[in-house]
Amino acid sequence: MTPSDPLPGAPPGASPGSSPESASDPFHLPALDGGEVEGLLGAGGRPVLVDFFATWCGPCAWIVPTLRALREEYGDRVEIVKVDVDEATDLATSLRIASVPTVILFEGGVEVERSLGVEPEKVRRMVEGAVARVAEVGASAAADGAADGAADGAADGAADGAADGAASARARTPARCPDRPEPH
């Protein structure tokens, strides 16, 4: 491979040492600094896929088409961002990023899975798994909510029935007055 050869699987215009963001496209992946990523992870919510890259890293450009395709396919169900390890050294150190590209999936602010090097199939499986887990949790929560609603409705109905029964019993029982003798 010569310096002018295109990178296999890289976006148009990418070359060894070029920035992965150099090619313009509608699915531009935001490059965040360490503090922004920590804030995003601390917010919980949807899964976050973080691509740790370096502008001087040729293979880092090779994973970008996969990340862009995943962002297009999954939209707002997963957050996909990039972090330049040379700009966010503290974050890279704290997460033990020893090589680039490294792609980490976080769920609820906790690292769930990591891909080292250019592994587009693994990264796709990571995202698909995260989206499926979120869908399962959502479906389970909806089912629990429906069951809770039915149980609440049944309890309310039972309480209403008991109250109605008690009122009916009171209506049939003559009122007693302490000053009057009991009827015989």
60 part of the active site: yes
How much of the chain, in percent, has pLDDT values that exceed 90?
Answer: 46
Instruction: Match 């496209």 to its residue by tokens.
Output: 25
Helix, strand, coil abundance in the chain, percent, nearest 5: 45, 15, 40
pLDDT > 90? residue 99: yes
- What is d(CA 153, CA 159) in angstroms, rounded to the nearest whole number? 10
Q: How confident is the model at residue 67 (pLDDT cuts 50, 70, 90)?
A: very high
The reported pLDDT for the residue numbered 2 is: 39
Question: Is pLDDT of 44 > 80?
Answer: no
pLDDT digit string, tens, across residues 54-65:
999 999 999 999
Q: Of 50, 57, 85, 88, which one is the catalytic site residue?
A: 57
pLDDT of residue 103: 97
- pLDDT 10s digits, 140-184: 666 666 656 655 555 555 555 555 555 554 444 444 444 445 555
Q: Give the whole-angstrom CA distance, residue 79 versus residue 105.
A: 10
In the CATH scheme, what is the code of domain 1-157? 3.40.30.10
**Of 10-14, 43-47, 68-72, minimum mean pLDDT range:** 10-14
The answer to whether residue 177 is catalytic is no
Q: Is 48 helix (H, G, I), strand (E, B) or coil?
A: strand
Given 48, 54, 60, 78, which residue is catalytic?
A: 60
